[in-house]
Every structure is written in structure tokens, then in C-alpha cells.
Amino acid sequence: MKIGVITFPGSNCDKDMIYVWEQLLEQEVVNLWHKSNHLQNCGLVILPGGFSYGDYLRSGAIARFSPIMQQVAGFAAEGGFVLGVCNGFQILCEAGLLPGALLHNSSRKFICKNVFIKPEHTNSLITASLNTSKAYKIPIAHGEGKFYTDQETLKNLNEKKQILFRYCDARGEIGSESNPNGSLQNIAGICNEKKNVFGMMPHPERAADVELGNTDGKEIFQSILDAVAV
Amino acid sequence: MGKTIQKEAISVDTAIKLGLLSEEFEKIKEILGRTPNFVEVSIYSAMWSEHCSYKNSITWLKKLPKDGPHMLAKAGEENAGLVDIGDGLGCAFKIESHNHPSAIEPYQGAATGVGGINRDIFTMGARPVAQLNSLRFGNITNEHARWHLRGVVKGIGDYGNAFGIPVLGGEVFFDECYTTNPLVNAMSVGIIDSKKMISATSHGVGNPVFIVGSATGKDGIHGASFASKDISETSMDDLPAVQVGDPFQEKLLLEASLEIADTDAIIGMQDMGAAGIICSTSEMSAKGKHGMKIWLDRVPVRQQNMQAWEILLSESQERMLVVVKKGKEKIVQDIFDKWDLNCVQIGEVTKGNELEFFMNNELVASVPAESLVLGGGAPVYERTYSEPAYFKENKKFRIDSISIPNDLKAVADFLTTHPNIASKKWVTEQYDTMVGTVNMSTNKPADAGIVNLKGLNKALAVTVDCNARYVYADPEEGCAIAVAEAARNITCAGGEPSAITNCLNFGNPYNPEVYWQFVSAIKGMSKACEKFKTPVTGGNVSFYNQSASVGKEGGNVSNAVFPTPTIGMIGIIPDKKYITSLAFKKPGHLIYLLGESVNDISSSEYLYSWHKVKQSPAPYFNLEKEWKVQTALKELIQQGFIVSAHDCSDGGLYITLIESAMPYHLGFSIDIDSDVREDAFLFGEAQSRVVVSVSPEKVDDFLDLIEEKLNIDYYLLGEVVKGDIIIDGKKWHKIAEVKEMYNNALAQYMNE
């Protein structure tokens, strides 16, 4: 599958994402510039982490006006696969492609550490081949990652199986102890109703290289490839 | 265009107010052959400040070992040192202080420190891959110190996280000597294709000179001069001397700079740090032995009506000066346009050596570049020094004057939760430690940070170290220990020490006792660097880390911070299979201590904080023995005989053991060596000791190699067990309890 990774000014996980898809998953990858108006026939468009435009106003608030975001919106509307990680997730929420918002962490501090997340179900491309009873060790690194939405949207997200991952502990228990940032119902990642736009705060690309001692994140990406290949 | 200087000549009083000495004013008149005007005096006051000129330190810095088999750029030649790491790659690295700005504005002070040091690396064409920082604050129970800590950590985090380079190491230390003067030392490490290094030079008559990056504002004016005096009650008046950082601009500047590094359009590039435009124009011109004509009114500015001297001296961040090959301007312009950054021609290279600055067609300053810079006309002073009385007092300490506490477990718990020893995760979790996907120590903690060199079977090991209490106790031995500890950390991680950068934080150099600390530290650093073949590639000197001097010139040595020569070291791990974690892996593995057990508690956290004895010498240290232990350890690692290695440092052997046990929730059962006091054995900080674990299958090979070849002291401590801490057969703790104490202590001090 051809993968497009967008670089916004201030993206800083774009190269990491490209490295994983190109070198470790051996896919064709193109780097898409934010001023561009083409998605170059990619099967999956990824919005990587970083601090787009410095995120001085609100994370993702400016990046959603980048020219390429119009293309991303059109692509998503036609059912194209879009994944936002960290700042990419924030941009997708700001752009209205995903519901909810990402607020300042409850601690009011930036948090970077390994956490555990558990797939909610296997009803989406990104969780299709994951084990719903396994706690995946994936790092987070964000200051604004507390997922929030109104009660009705939350109810819908649950009912329509749009919740992809919840924060848990090493044993897979979901509780306030294992919630690193105060997200509603420990939500770490969601998708849209059509299940073609995905957003998550944890960084699978940081847990993909065997040389770094953790490949749980590679399994998440591999799930996408497996599902598309079928 | 007139060549006559238009402004009125000024008096020596104005020069003194700008921080110059009267003899320096005379020297300027001699150089110019006339009385300087205000702009010119401002230029000299910035360039001849301690911060830029190293005038009180350079004679001693020159005595440091500078050359090594792998040096591509030596100290002072470029913005940072450059070491050959093989495979056509170079490693550029440097450490710098941002102490004074952080003292009065912790957040921006620390943030711009991170920005500045990274610019030093990427201005050479290297992509930063790792950051480290070494921080010192007053006692954590003091709210002022906590204010410093909160602001500095947030500043480093907000800037570094957005810029997107992982933090791979650092240290945080608390002592009341840093209450007024916290120390904020930031280090950056970058990787470069050795053939593509950009030099900080300027030549080729007619070549255009560009300013790129942020617009110039009134922030940071006289920052270099501010950093060259003691912190006093009136320091808050200097707040405008603190710069404001914008990591987003820095990130764009990084990407644009590395893109132009890939072209053939560039003669030279230098970032603008201390003393702004005047510093980069003069240093590049002096290095390239040319002059420059600069039109200051073309510099993009943030506010109206900026004066010539303000534009010249502004320390606005995220700017670079670029000398472009004539005819290739468009290549450079297009790259900066792509990244939406300013890129404006402000001058051109001229024949000779004169820097001429114009404002609205009027010549406002004309000075020879060479006369401004270190190694050129900048003043050089020999300072007198004398041994302070406290030094002899320290040596009178006798261990017999201290009785062994009845409850050693209470001491252990005290040290486990001591802010200097407990986990620093309250700090480090605020930093992005994993961006870049090169941090090999996240899931495999080691004594040094390990940077993956993707695609190669080698890695880089990085560390910063300095126990300033040891340096205070004995500057020469203490500084040698700092180098030795850095090398030990690299070696424990499986690396081979390669080179160092230093950040020399001291008090007021006009005080002879402070200067004695400085001179002694340099001597100690020299001998240790020679032993480990780790040349000094550069760094920075920060004097005046001293609260206001009253009375005699240079104040009192007791008002100065501990002499703190922070050592940043890089090493090469020649094969990834040598990477060694500090963590015990499996119950049943044997635990050995390599090195000598000594009846010594000098300058330990135990002596200083538990017994509150503040006068003692540096801990036991023998450079030859240190070298032998490290050489032996390297061989044991490369032979594959050991499972883990962790050196004994702050808090002593007990702390080393719990730190090795915690990552995999294991415990240990050990016996105390009856030849030394129990307290010295568990909590003493005698140097040159490493705790290793060995699997039962490898233990014969391990012992044979030590006995037959390596010839070092060793001692069987005991073995790794499931989850208990057992000492002399008595169960002290479950590892989970220790972990809880160790991990949460700092957050509790921060009232969270």
C-alpha cells in the first residue's frame, strides 16, 4: 500500500513515521508537503506528531487550514484511510474529521512515558488483527491529550464502536490509575463512524523498531496492512 | 556614502557603565586610533565581555588537551567540536550554560539555552539527535528553588519538545549554594556527513551576507554583559537582557539550514547567540580574514525605531548569518521561502579586515573584526589565585569522628528518598525522550544515554556528569572524578569514551580563591582527559555565579556556587551487541563488585546530609585504578561475560544495587565485606567501583579472565533474588516498597 506522510511546519515525528513504514514495514512512502494539493494516490494518509505551527494557539488549530487538509477532507469523505497520531489526532479533531477535542492533561504538564493501551474491538482496520485482551506498551508524549467530548457524542462513540483504544495498566486493567492524562473513559484513540479516519494519542511508530526494545506499535501498523491485503 | 563616523565620541564613564574597564577603553582608542562613538563602545563592551571573550579563562583553557585521533574540528575552530565516528559520519556536540537568564526568568532562560545550543550544532550542518541537560538548584524545600526548578524544566520541555530532539540524559542536583544562582547547562549532540560540514567563516570579496530566521527585536540586548556579572538585588532590572524563545521558528530554521547545507551555495554560516549580529559578523570575518559591509536598516525588525546599536547587539533568538556564493542567492532564497522564513541580504564581504556598519547610508561604526574576537584583539588577563582556607580544613576530616548509625536501614531509606538521589522522573517525564526513534535506553536503561545510529551496527553513548560537592571539596581531584565518572558511565553502557565538552560554572574570577578553584579544576580535567584519551572539543565558561559581592573585589568564595565543571562526554559503542543495561535480569545471577572497597565516606550524600558534616575531602579516587577498572570492564563486556553493569556513584553501593534491581522488579541478597565499616560499604562514595551481574554459566569465564589477565580487585556481593532486599541475611524491604519511595519522592517535595 502506498502511504503518504504529511509534513506540516512544526511536524517532528514525520521522519520517524516514514522510517517505520518504509524501512521496517517495507511499504512505498511519499512525504506530502502541507502546501501541496495532491495526495499522490496514497491508500493511507498519515498526519504525524509534532507541534504544527508551534501550537501556540491550540494544538492543531492552525494546521487544519493548511492547503493539504482540504484534500484530506475530500479523501476521507470518499472513504480513504486517514490516521492521525498525537498532533495528527489533534488536527483531525480540529478539522472536524473526528469528534471531540484534546484538552490539556489533568496534570497540566507534558507527559512522555511508556503507557499501556488495550484495543476495544477488532472492528476496524487498525485493530483488526490485534488481541483485545492484550495490553500494548506504546509511548505517549503530549501536553494536550485529554480526550473530551459531550455526553451524547460519548454515548455514540461507545455504541457505534468508534473507540479504538483505552489506557490500561500492564495487566490490561482499565482504571483511573492507568489514565495518564485524564481522558474521558480512558480513551486513547477513536475513529469516525465510517471507520476510515483514525486518531490516537500514543505513538505506535516509537514502538516499532526491535533495536529500541519494543515492537508493540508495529503490530498496530501491521494490522492495517493485513486488513488491506485481505 | 561617507566613511566618516558621524556620531560624537564618548567618555570613559560611559564605557565603564557599559561594563568595560578603563584600561580596556584606552585599548579601544589605541586600536581605532581615535575615540570610539557609542555604537563602537557598545560593540566592544559586548565582544570583550567575559561571556564572549573568555578573557579571564582563556590562558588556562589553552592548557586543556585538545587533540585526539578522531578530531575533525578542534576546540574554538568551529561553533562546536566535531569528532569522527566512522562510516563517513561526524558527531558535533557542545554544552553551554544559561545560568544568569535562568536565575531571573527560569522559563525563558532555560528555553533559550536549549535553542542556542541546538543552533550551534545545526549551523554546522549537523542534525541534532540528542539533548542532555545538567541542572542545579537550591535546597528543594526552599520555594525559590522550586520556582526555579518548575520554570526551568517547563522551559526546557516546551522548547525541546516542540523542536523535536529527544532528551537522552542529564542530572539534577540540589544544594543551598545554588539558591540565588541555579545552573542550567544544556548539551546537544548532532550527526553530520563529515564532508558536508559548514564552517563559520566568511570570504570572497563581493559575496552577499544574509540574515535568516526571526526578525530582530529589542530582547536580549547586553545579554552577554549581563551574564558577566554577579547576580544581585538589581538583577531583575536586567530582565530585558533575557531573550524570548520560539521553538517553532527554530524547527523551521533547522530544516531550512540543513537543506542549504546540502547545496553548494554556502561559504559559511553562524548562528546568532550572545552579542547577536556583531558577534557573528566579527567572528566569521576574523576567521575568513575578510571584512564586511553591513546595512543595519535592512535587518528585518520587530519594532519601530530601533537604534543601530540595538540592532547590532540584540540577542533575538532563532537567527543565522549566512555568507552565500555570489550568483547562488536564489537557491538559498527559495529554501527559506519554502519554510516561510525571512532571508534578507544585509551586506557583503569586503577586502581587508574592517567591519563597517551603516544605518540609512550613514556609517555608524567601523571596527577591525580581528580586534573584537578571542584569539585576536580581545583582552587576555592572567588572574592571581590563592588556596582558600577551607581546603586545608577539609583534609582534617577523619572517618573515626563519625559513629556508625545503629539503624542502617533508616539511612538507606533516607538516601532512597533524598532529592539528589531519588528518581528524577518528575523532571524527565516532562521531556520528550523518544522523538526521533533513536533512544535505545527507554526500554533498556543504561548508565549512559544510547543513540541508535540507524542502519549501522554501532551506537553513540552520551552522558553529562559532575558531582560539584566533590569539586568544592577538592577542585583538582573532584574535576578529575567528573571526567572519570563520565567515562565510567560510557564504559558501563558498553561504549568507548571518545571526547568531552565542558561547561565551567564558577563564581567571580576576580576573587583569587574562586580563581584557584577554576585553575585546580582545569588541572584535574587535563590529567583525567589525558588518561582517557578524551580531548576537550569545546564548551563554555560561566563565571559570576555568585550572589552580590560586598566588600573586597570579587566578593567572598563562600558566596559562590560550588565550582561546577560539568563534563559532557560522548563515546562510541562499536558493536550493538556490547550495549549493556544497568538492570539485573534474572534471579540466580551473581552480583560482583569490581574495584576496591574502601573505608571512605568523604563528601558522600550520607556524610553531608545524614551526619550534616560539610567539611571533608573528595572521596577516595585513584586515576590509575579507575583506568584499570574501566579497561577491565570494557573487556568483560566485549567478551560477553556480564549481564549488567552500573557504577557506584551518589548514595553509594546500596543505591547502585536498588537501581539495578528496580527495572525488572527483582531483589538482591548480599553480604557486607567485613574489612570495611558497614556505613562506608553501603553508602560511601569511593570511586572506581562498578556493580555487575553475571549468569552462572559465564561465571567461570568471568573469573578466569579477571584472575589471569585483568588483575583488578573484585568482591562477590551475593546474588539476584526475586523481589526482596536482603542484607547479611536480614530482609530490609520488598523491592516494590523501595520503588514506591524512590519514584515518588521528588513529586512529594514538589507538593504534588
Which of B248, B432, B433 is closest, CB to CB, to A53?
A: B248
User: How far off is chain A from B252, nearest CA to CA, in Å?
Assistant: 7
Residue B718 neighbours by CB distance under 10 Å? 17
User: How far off is chain A from B677, nearest CA to CA, in Å?
Assistant: 40
Distance, in Å, from the CA atom of B447 to the CA atom of B246, rounded to the nearest integer, reads 32
Q: Residue A56: its chain B contacts at CB < 8 A?
A: 248
Q: Residue B665: its chain A contacts at CB < 8 A?
A: none
Q: Residues of chain B with pLDDT > 70: what percent?
A: 95
**B252/A9 Cβ within 8 A:** yes
**B161/A141 Cβ within 8 A:** yes
Q: What would the pLDDT profile of B556-589 be if each residue is shown by its tens digit?
A: 888 899 999 999 999 999 999 999 999 999 999 9
Are B617 and B416 in contact, with CB atoms under 8 Å apart? no
Distance, in Å, from the CA atom of B537 to the CA atom of B523, rounded to the nearest integer, reads 16
For the ranges B541-555, B630-644, B689-703, which has the lowest average pLDDT? B541-555
**B430/A112 Cβ within 8 A:** yes
Reply yes or no on whether the pLDDT at B541 is more than 50: yes
For residue A171, what pLDDT band results from cuts at 50, 70 and 90? very high
Are B99 and B113 in contact, with CB atoms under 8 Å apart? no
Residue of B nearest to A33 (CA): B338
Q: What would the pLDDT profile of B390-416 be if each residue is shown by its tens digit?
A: 999 999 999 999 999 999 999 999 999
CA B718-B721-B722 angle, 5° bins: 170
Q: Strand A163-168 relative to strand A111-119: parallel, antiparallel, unpaired?
A: antiparallel
Reply yes or no on whether the pLDDT at B243 is more than 80: no
For the ranges A40-54, B239-253, B312-326, B528-542, which has the lowest average pLDDT? B239-253
CB neighbour list of residue B669: distance below 8 Å, 6 or more residues apart: B718, B719, B721, B724, B726, B727, B729
Residue of A nearest to B455 (CA): A23
| Cell reading at B632 | 577491565
Tell me, what's the pLDDT at B1?
A: 39
| Cell reading at B521 | 579544576
How many contiguous H segments (helices) and E segments (strands) does chain B have?
25, 25
User: How far off is chain B from A48, nearest CA to CA, in Å?
Assistant: 11
Distance, in Å, from the CA atom of A119 to the CA atom of B91, rounded to the nearest integer, reads 41
Distance, in Å, from the CA atom of A205 to the CA atom of B444, rounded to the nearest integer, reads 18
Q: How many CA atoms lie within 13 A of A160 on its CB side?
A: 14
A interface test, pick of B118, B159, B251, B435 with most A CB neighbours within 10 Å: B435
Distance, in Å, from the CA atom of B186 to the CA atom of B133, rounded to the nearest integer, reads 4
Residues of B acting as catalytic residues: 51, 98
Distance, in Å, from the CA atom of B545 to the CA atom of B231, rounded to the nearest integer, reads 7
Residue of B nearest to A59 (CA): B162
Q: What would the pLDDT profile of B736-752 be if each residue is shown by its tens digit?
A: 999 999 999 999 999 87
Which of A13, A54, A109 is closest, CB to CB, to B435?
A: A13
**A20/B437 Cβ within 8 A:** yes
User: How far off is chain A from B585, nearest CA to CA, in Å?
Assistant: 15
Helices (H), B306-400: 308-313, 329-338, 389-395
For residue A230, what pLDDT band results from cuts at 50, 70 and 90? low
| Cell reading at B12 | 570613559
Are B242 and B104 in contact, with CB atoms under 8 Å apart? yes
Which of B340, B434, B443 is closest, CB to CB, to A112?
A: B434
Are B547 and B178 in contact, with CB atoms under 8 Å apart? no
- Please give the backbone phi and psi of residue B185, each rounded to the nearest 5 degrees, phi first: -115, 125
Nearest C-alpha neighbor of B415 from the set B170, B677, B144, B659: B659
Mean pLDDT of chain B: 93
Which of B164, B430, B442 is closest, CB to CB, to A109?
A: B430
- 3-state SS assignment for residue B540: strand
| Cell reading at B5 | 563616523
Nearest C-alpha neighbor of A46 from the set A16, A79, A3: A3
| Cell reading at B197 | 560540514
Residue of B nearest to A105 (CA): B430
Mean pLDDT of chain A: 96
Q: Residue B163: its chain A contacts at CB < 8 A?
A: 12
Distance, in Å, from the CA atom of B637 to the CA atom of B594, rounded to the nearest integer, reads 13
User: Whose grid coordinates read 584472575?
Assistant: B707
Helices (H), chain A: 14-19, 67-77, 87-94, 151-159, 216-229
Are B309 and B39 in contact, with CB atoms under 8 Å apart? yes
Q: What would the pLDDT profile of B41-97 be if each residue is shown by its tens digit?
A: 999 999 999 888 899 999 999 999 988 777 887 767 777 888 999 999 999 999 999
CA B385-B389-B393 angle, 5° bins: 140
Which of B248, B425, B454 is closest, CB to CB, to A19?
A: B454
- Per-residue 3-state assignment (H helix, E strand, C coil) for B509-530: CCCHHHHHHHHHHHHHHHHHHH
**B164/A12 Cβ within 8 A:** yes
For chain B, the residues whose C-beta falls within 8 A of a C-beta of chain A are 154, 157-158, 161-164, 246-249, 251-252, 339-340, 425, 429-437, 439-440, 442-444, 452, 454, 576, 752
**A141/B439 Cβ within 8 A:** no
Residue of B nearest to A206 (CA): B437
Which of A112, A113, A205 is closest, CB to CB, to B437?
A: A205
Which of A10, A16, A208 is closest, CB to CB, to B248?
A: A10
Tell me, what's the pLDDT at B752?
A: 73
Distance, in Å, from the CA atom of B362 to the CA atom of B5, rounded to the nearest integer, reads 8
User: How far off is chain A from B450, nearest CA to CA, in Å?
Assistant: 10
Q: How many residues are given for chain B?
A: 752
Burial category of B521 from C-beta neighbours within 10 Å (exposed 0-12, middle 13-18, buried 19 and up):
buried
A interface test, pick of B122, B434, B439 with most A CB neighbours within 10 Å: B434
Q: What would the pLDDT profile of B609-623 be if each residue is shown by its tens digit?
A: 999 999 999 999 999
Distance, in Å, from the CA atom of B507 to the CA atom of B177, rounded to the nearest integer, reads 11
Tell me, what's the pLDDT at B637?
A: 98
Residue of B nearest to A211 (CA): B440
Tell me, what's the pLDDT at B2?
A: 41
Q: Residue A208: its chain B contacts at CB < 8 A?
A: 437
Residues of A acting as catalytic residues: 86, 203, 205
User: How far off is chain B from A32, nearest CA to CA, in Å?
Assistant: 14
Q: Residues of chain B with pLDDT > 90: what percent?
A: 84
Distance, in Å, from the CA atom of B548 to the CA atom of B543, rounded to the nearest integer, reads 13
Are B484 and B626 in contact, with CB atoms under 8 Å apart? yes
Are B269 and B123 in contact, with CB atoms under 8 Å apart? yes
Residue B704 neighbours by CB distance under 10 Å? 12
Distance, in Å, from the CA atom of B611 to the CA atom of B673, rounded to the nearest integer, reads 22
For residue B636, what pLDDT band results from cuts at 50, 70 and 90? very high
User: Whose grid coordinates read 556620531?
Assistant: B7
Edge-to-edge order in the sheet of strand B536-542: B449-452, B459-465, B564-573, B496-505, B536-542
Burial category of A44 from C-beta neighbours within 10 Å (exposed 0-12, middle 13-18, buried 19 and up):
buried
Distance, in Å, from the CA atom of B111 to the CA atom of B557, rounded to the nearest integer, reads 30
CB neighbour list of residue A152: distance below 8 Å, 6 or more residues apart: none
Reply yes or no on whether the pLDDT at B235 is more than 70: no
Task: Considering only the C-alpha atoms of chain A, give the largest distance between any 2 of them, rounded to a whole number of Å.
Answer: 45
Reply yes or no on whether the pLDDT at B681 is more than 90: yes
Helices (H), B237-383: 247-261, 276-288, 308-313, 329-338
Distance, in Å, from the CA atom of B652 to the CA atom of B600, rounded to the nearest integer, reads 11
Mean pLDDT of A20-33: 97
User: How far off is chain A from B250, nearest CA to CA, in Å?
Assistant: 9
Tell me, what's the pLDDT at B228?
A: 66
**A114/B158 Cβ within 8 A:** no
Distance, in Å, from the CA atom of B537 to the CA atom of B66, rounded to the nearest integer, reads 6
Reply yes or no on whether the pLDDT at B28 is more than 60: yes
User: Whose grid coordinates read 520517524?
Assistant: A16
Are B521 and B504 in contact, with CB atoms under 8 Å apart? yes
Tell me, what's the pLDDT at A228?
A: 86
Q: Residue A36: its chain B contacts at CB < 8 A?
A: none
Are B463 and B532 in contact, with CB atoms under 8 Å apart? no
| Chain A to chain B Cβ contacts (< 8 Å) | 96
User: How far off is chain B from A216, nearest CA to CA, in Å?
Assistant: 12
Are B119 and B205 in contact, with CB atoms under 8 Å apart? no
Q: Which of B86-99 are b and which e, b meaning 16 or more Cβ less than 10 Å from the residue's Cβ?
A: eeebbbbbbbbbbb
More confident residue, A56 or B480: B480
CB neighbour list of residue B480: distance below 8 Å, 6 or more residues apart: B524, B525, B527, B528, B621, B623
**B164/A112 Cβ within 8 A:** no
Mean pLDDT of B350-375: 94
- The secondary element (H helix, E strand) that includes residue B345 is strand B342-350
A interface test, pick of B118, B337, B437 with most A CB neighbours within 10 Å: B437
- The secondary element (H helix, E strand) that includes residue B81 is strand B81-86
Residue of A nearest to B150 (CA): A109
CA B55-B59-B64 angle, 5° bins: 125
Tell me the sheet residues that pair with B546: B560
- The secondary element (H helix, E strand) that includes residue B51 is helix B50-53
Q: Residue B443: its chain A contacts at CB < 8 A?
A: 114, 212-214
Distance, in Å, from the CA atom of B150 to the CA atom of B140, rounded to the nearest integer, reads 11
**A111/B434 Cβ within 8 A:** no
ipTM: 0.97
**A109/B452 Cβ within 8 A:** no
